[in-house]
């Protein structure tokens, strides 16, 4: 990725050990307000765009038809840990649709949550698709699929659901899809520019909840994410801890390969960033820096210091270095 701007540095023993560079855009009510790197850089948003993928769930009336709560909508936008509460909610959701775990198309992986993983091991049980970090999104996909009377292979690119998501993606980014790839959960992931992703997040931030169908859907999804950060990710995760640190006023979402977005309703601003090397450490530090700059996150909060500016220690508790913003970012 050419033109990436240095954003995050790791220092050890008084020497610069590593640098993370990337691209970021802040989109406000009047358009692009700040840029680092190249805003036209095309990326796969990966899981950072789950609120876009969830728009048909709300806009089609499918969510209300089965009585989904805001907690369900938060799970639909989640990359969760596979904690017991995540697994139970996804299973119960499928049951309300008259479906079971085999209807999912997200695949199986071990839960990231240690407590649930250890429980499975001790009980000599195998993980299932409900443990997949994208199972909530897929429950949402199945809800729309049933509402539309469409076929069960909802992750196929020509399925009515994915065609609806593609159209929605182009509408909220105001640009043609640049291509598509298969995500880790088997669903199509539509490529877009960093600027297009930021523009979409600004639309979510500006939604009042009193406008048309899309405005109300965007407002509800952003509010659900901020209200239930523990469902969007899980204990110990950046999304959960930082949303709590911001008093549930801002919605943020990570995506694989170091993508991060933020929805700031009070400022009507959206943020999107991509760290070029794909490292999560860099993305978490960079979004922390941008949220601090926006005035919505206290730089001294433990959740912020955990990712930027705090002491880095080894397994014996000895300080080894610091992760800090690179010169010129995000000033």
- Where residue 280 sits, what CATH number does that domain have? 3.40.710
Reported residue count of the chain is 331
Average pLDDT over residues 309-330: 95
pLDDT tens per residue, range 155-194 = 999 999 999 999 999 999 999 999 999 999 999 999 999 9
Instruction: Report yes or no on 91 lying in a domain.
Output: yes
Residue whose C-alpha is closest to residue 270's, from 10, 39, 78: 39
pLDDT tens per residue, range 116-148 = 999 999 999 999 999 999 999 999 999 999 999
Q: What is the pLDDT of residue 228?
A: 98
Query: What is the rounded CA–CA span in Å between residue 121 and residue 141?
Result: 30
Residue whose C-alpha is closest to residue 288's, from 305, 275, 276, 310: 305
Query: What is the rounded CA–CA span in Å between residue 64 and residue 59?
Result: 9
pLDDT tens per residue, range 48-77 = 999 999 999 999 999 999 999 999 999 999
Instruction: Report yes or no on 331 lying in a domain.
Output: no
Domain count, the chain: 1
Q: What is the pLDDT of residue 104?
A: 98
Q: What is the pLDDT of residue 331?
A: 87
pLDDT exceeds 70 at position 1: no
Instruction: Report yes or no on 20 lying in a domain.
Output: yes
Instruction: Report yes or no on 280 lying in a domain.
Output: yes
Instruction: Report yes or no on 330 lying in a domain.
Output: no
181 strand-pairing partners: 189
Instruction: Report yes or no on 138 lying in a domain.
Output: yes
Tokens coding 155: 């992750």
Average pLDDT over residues 87-114: 98
Domain that holds residue 184: 5-325
Instruction: Report yes or no on 113 lying in a domain.
Output: yes
Percent of the chain clearing pLDDT 90 (strictly above): 99
């Amino acid at each position: 990725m050419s033109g990436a701007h240095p954003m995050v540095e790791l220092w050890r023993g008084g020497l610069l050990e590593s640098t993370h560079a990337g691209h970021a855009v802040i989109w406000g009510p009047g358009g692009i307000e700040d840029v680092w790197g190249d805003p036209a850089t095309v990326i796969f948003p990966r899981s950072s765009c789950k609120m876009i993928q969830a728009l048909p769930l709300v806009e089609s009336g499918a969510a209300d038809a089965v009585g989904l709560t805001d907690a369900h909508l938060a799970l639909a936008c989640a990359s969760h840990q596979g904690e017991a509460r995540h697994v139970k909610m996804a299973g119960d959701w499928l049951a309300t649709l008259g479906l079971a775990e085999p209807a999912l198309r997200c695949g199986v992986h071990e839960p990231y949550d240690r407590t649930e993983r250890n429980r499975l091991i001790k009980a000599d049980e195998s993980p299932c698709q409900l443990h997949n970090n994208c199972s909530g999104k897929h429950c949402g996909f199945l809800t729309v699929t049933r509402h539309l009377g469409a076929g069960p292979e909802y992750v196929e690119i020509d399925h009515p659901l994915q065609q609806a998501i593609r159209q929605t993606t182009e509408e909220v980014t105001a640009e043609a899809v640049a291509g598509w790839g298969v995500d880790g959960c088997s669903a199509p992931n539509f490529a877009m520019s960093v600027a297009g992703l930021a523009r979409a997040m600004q639309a979510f931030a500006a939604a009042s909840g009193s406008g048309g169908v899309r405005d109300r859907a965007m407002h509800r999804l952003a509010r659900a994410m901020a209200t239930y950060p523990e469902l969007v990710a899980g204990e110990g995760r950046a999304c959960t801890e930082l949303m709590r640190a911001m008093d549930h006023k801002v919605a943020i979402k990570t995506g694989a390969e170091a993508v991060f977005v933020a929805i700031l309703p009070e400022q009507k601003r959206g943020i999107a960033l991509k760290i070029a090397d794909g490292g999560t450490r860099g993305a978490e530090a960079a979004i922390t820096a941008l949220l601090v700059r926006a005035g919505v996150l206290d730089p001294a909060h433990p959740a912020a210091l955990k990712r930027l500016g705090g002491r880095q220690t080894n397994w014996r508790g000895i300080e080894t270095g610091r992760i800090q913003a690179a010169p010129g970012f995000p000033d």
